Amino acid sequence: MNLITNGQLRPAADGLTALPTGAPGVFETLALVHRTPLLWDEHWARFSAGCRWFGFAAPFTAEAARDYMLALATHNNCPTGVLRYAAWRESSGSVAWQIEVGPPRPHQGKAAFRVRTGPTLPRPTADQAMKHLNRSPWLGALQAARAAGCDETLLLDDQGRLVEGAVSNVLLVAGRTLRTPPLSSGALPGIMRAQVLAFASQLGWSITEADCRPADAHAADEIWLTNALVGIRPVSAYDDTALPEPRPILDAFRRAWIPAYGWDPVLIVPG
């Protein structure tokens, strides 16, 4: 495996390397399917905005990033997997950057996730709209959940309201209504979250961005988690309470999505 750091190809361990936690900077993680990064334009727009917010221009162009990605996909023999690019300011003041392509992550192949209620997040900060590098509270919560046998954890604010998953947004489904915590709660404006809400609206579904509590999740017909790597992942159990199968609402949404987007939102990376 190899990655590109500051324009130089260098060896890396299998999988993705650690990024500098807490450094002023941003990253994006995308699904790569047959050498095509999904939702490329949306991710690039968020990345560029994040770089500007931290006071520097994106250190490579979108065209250069694509070239690096294709070279790494070939070099690492990963036409399908995970693409991640990041940029940050170092203590010296210079801007560093990194682009990686690796194999699919194990959780991408899971049909549904087991989820538990997690800890309280810090209060929202001015950089909440960015996918910044200070992700320690989120990653710590995810590690604890996985150690307990879960796949994801739903994090709370200091009022006991749901905010988001450690690496996902949460959508509560009742009939043709999607309810999700508002971005003002501190939730990351997820790329897949935005796509799902926009497409559901096109289908005539009702969209509600409002406070959500664990009790609302337990009362939902279905719970969907969204992120760029898994697309939409249904929840099979929440706090040890199993959710019913089959999932007819997700099945109907999926049937409408595939011809519109050309890829399966539930099975982005084929197993």
The terminus-to-terminus CA distance of the chain in angstroms comes to 21
Closest CA relative to residue 199, chosen from 218, 165, 224, 166: 224
Q: What is the pLDDT of residue 18?
A: 81
Q: What is the pLDDT of residue 109?
A: 87
CB 30 within 8 A of CB 47: no
pTM for this structure? 0.95
Closest CA relative to residue 182, chosen from 212, 158, 157, 153: 212
Strands 113-120 and 152-156: parallel
One-letter identity of residue 83:
L
Distance from C-alpha of 259 to C-alpha of 29, rounded to nearest angstrom: 24
Taking the chain (271 residues) in runs of 10, the rounded mean pLDDT of each run is: 94 78 96 97 98 97 97 96 97 96 92 96 84 92 96 96 97 98 95 99 98 97 98 97 95 98 90 56
Distance from C-alpha of 1 to C-alpha of 15, rounded to nearest angstrom: 8
Alpha helices in the chain (DSSP H): 40-53, 62-75, 136-147, 191-202, 214-219, 248-261
Q: What is the DSSP string of 33-92?
A: ETTEETTHHHHHHHHHHHHHHTTS--SS-HHHHHHHHHHHHHHTT-SSEEEEEEEEE-TT
Q: What is the pLDDT of residue 271?
A: 56
Q: What is the pLDDT of residue 143?
A: 96
In this structure, what are the phi and psi dihedrals at residue 92, rounded to the nearest 5 degrees? Answer: -75, -15
Ordered by where they begin, the domains of the chain are: 2-104 (3.30.470.10), 109-261 (3.20.10.10)
Query: Radius of gyration over alpha carbons of the chain, in Å?
Result: 18
